């Protein structure tokens, strides 16, 4: 079936065979391919999560003397360093996700439902050449981020957190919008979130350990009047929304083996801070920072970060 994907230029591998059907057929191509690499091969790197058990048994049988080695970690580390082309893809995806959000907010207003906003966002992302991935959306004072038939009314605040994919690479950002004008408290709250984001962003540099992002963010959170309502996370971004470098402290769904490692050119980091205020609602910003190959740090999709007004 991959012959169609090959026609669509979906593969990054230099050599692709589309003549196999099932595991055994695939191994009939894979085993000779490995043998032709050289007789001195003693180890084969695998990602166990993606290798069928039947395939592992067959590799051991047909390639005696070789050892199957779990190489998920080194492959993740390799994937964490993007090429200039990969960085360009993530930048375009990020820019277009935010452009899509702003277009939806400009074209809607009171009376629109969360479902309608999400459908319009998907259409805007597709129009810009992205594959729509998801949208988490709140409205009013609710902290519920599921699309629903909730109808926007004057004064409602809306958080839009969406991912769109371009050539396999994710743009993942969150922006805020409001029906009408923000009051002083709402301005203060988004300023608090922005201050946390600014502190975290300032810690992102080549050669600095990943944990410093959390150190900087936590110091700013401690100064926030709404610290008890704050959520913050920093994570790698690329082919998936949470990839290496893994930086989140213990208690997150995955470990943080990269917290002590220095950040490197080619890495892309997402930083996201939210205040889940029980009375005002859900206020969040999510930004994408890339350490370019020359060591400079650039923010992708870095616009629309204040209160965007519905209806333009």
pLDDT at 22: 84
**Together in a domain, 22 and 139:** no
When pLDDT is averaged across residues 162-173 and rounded to a whole number, the result is 96
Check which CATH number belongs to the domain holding 220 and give it. 3.90.230.10
- Considering the chain, what percentage of its residues have pLDDT values greater than 70? 99
- Residue 28 inside a domain? The answer is yes
Structural domain contains residue 75: no
State how many domains the chain has. Answer: 2
How much is the pLDDT for 13? 81
Look at residue 12 and tell me whether its pLDDT is greater than 80.
Answer: no
Asked if residue 151 and residue 31 are part of one domain, the reply reads: no
Domain that holds residue 300: 84-309
Quickly state the pLDDT bin for 305 (edges 50, 70, 90): very high
Tens of pLDDT, residues 210-241 = 999 999 999 999 999 999 999 999 999 999 99
CA distance 69 to 101: 44
Residue 79 resides in a domain: no
Confirm whether pTM is higher than 0.85. yes
Same domain for 55 and 183, yes or no, is: no
pLDDT for the residue 277:
98
The mean pLDDT of the chain is 94
Locate 295 and state its tokens.
């060591």
Within a domain: residue 211? yes
Beta strands in the chain (DSSP E): 43-46, 67-70, 131-139, 157-166, 169-178, 230-236, 243-246, 268-277, 281-291, 297-300, 307-309
Residues 6+ apart with CB under 8 A from 169: 86, 89, 90, 93, 238, 239
Average pLDDT over residues 180-184: 98
Q: What is the pLDDT of residues 67-113, one digit of tens each?
A: 999 999 999 999 999 999 999 999 999 999 999 999 999 999 999 99
Of 43, 70, 97, the residue that ends a domain is 70
Q: Are 114 and 150 in contact (CB under 8 A)?
A: yes
Given pLDDT bands bounded at 50, 70 and 90, which one contains residue 254? confident
pLDDT at 6: 81
Tell me how crowded residue 272 is: count the other CB atoms within 10 A of its CB: 22
- 262 and 211 co-located in one domain: yes
Same domain, 89 and 61: no
Question: In terms of domains, do 106 and 47 share one?
Answer: no
In a domain, 77, yes or no: no
Q: Is the pLDDT of residue 10 over 80?
A: no
- Asked whether residue 58 falls in the same domain as residue 177, the answer is no
DSSP string, 270-298: EEEEEEEETTTEEEEEEEEEEE-TTS-EE
Q: Does residue 205 have a pLDDT over 90?
A: yes
Let me know whether 200 and 164 are in one domain: yes
Last residue of a domain, one of 70, 99, 114: 70
Mean predicted confidence (pLDDT) in 260-282: 97
Look at residue 76 and tell me if it is in a domain.
no
pLDDT score for 19? 82
60 and 167 in a single domain? The answer is no
Query: Do 92 and 172 share a domain, yes or no?
Result: yes
Domain membership flag for residue 17 = yes
What separation in angstroms does the CA of 300 have from each of 88, 158, 219? 10, 22, 25
The answer to whether the beta carbons of residues 174 and 232 sit under 8 Å apart is: no
* 119 and 208 co-located in one domain: yes
Domain edge (last residue) among 22, 41, 70: 70
Q: In terms of domains, do 105 and 245 share one? A: yes
Residue 143, in any domain of the structure: yes
Name the pLDDT band for 21 (thresholds 50, 70, 90). confident
């Amino acid at each position: 079936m991959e012959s169609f994907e090959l026609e669509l230029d979906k593969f990054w591998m230099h050599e692709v065979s589309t003549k196999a059907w099932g595991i055994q057929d695939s191994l009939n191509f894979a085993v000779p391919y490995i043998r032709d690499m050289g007789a001195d091969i003693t180890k084969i790197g695998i990602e166990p999560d993606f290798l069928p058990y039947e395939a592992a048994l067959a590799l051991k049988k047909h390639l005696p003397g070789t050892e199957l080695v779990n190489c998920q970690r080194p492959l993740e580390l390799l994937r964490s360093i993007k090429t200039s082309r990969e960085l360009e893809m993530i930048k375009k995806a990020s820019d277009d996700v935010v452009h899509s959000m702003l277009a939806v907010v400009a074209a809607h207003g009171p009376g629109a439902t969360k479902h309608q906003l999400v459908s319009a966002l998907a259409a805007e992302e597709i129009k810009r050449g992205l594959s729509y991935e998801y949208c988490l959306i709140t409205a009013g004072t609710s902290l519920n981020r599921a699309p629903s038939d909730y109808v926007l009314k004057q004064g409602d605040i809306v958080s839009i957190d969406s991912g769109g994919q371009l050539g396999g690479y994710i743009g993942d950002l969150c922006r805020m919008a409001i029906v009408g004008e923000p009051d002083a408290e709402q301005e203060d709250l988004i300023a608090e979130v922005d201050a946390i984001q600014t502190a975290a962003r300032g810690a992102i540099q080549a050669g600095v350990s990943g944990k410093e992002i959390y150190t900087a963010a936590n110091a700013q959170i401690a100064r926030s009047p709404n610290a008890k309502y704050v959520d913050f996370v920093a994570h790698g971004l690329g082919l998936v929304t949470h990839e290496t470098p893994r930086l989140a402290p213990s208690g997150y769904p995955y470990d943080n083996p990269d917290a002590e490692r220095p950040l490197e050119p080619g890495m892309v980091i997402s930083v996201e801070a939210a205040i889940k205020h029980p009375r005002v609602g859900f206020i969040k910003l999510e930004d994408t920072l890339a350490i370019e190959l020359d060591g400079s740090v650039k923010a992708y999709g870095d616009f629309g970060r204040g209160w965007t007004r519905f209806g333009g």
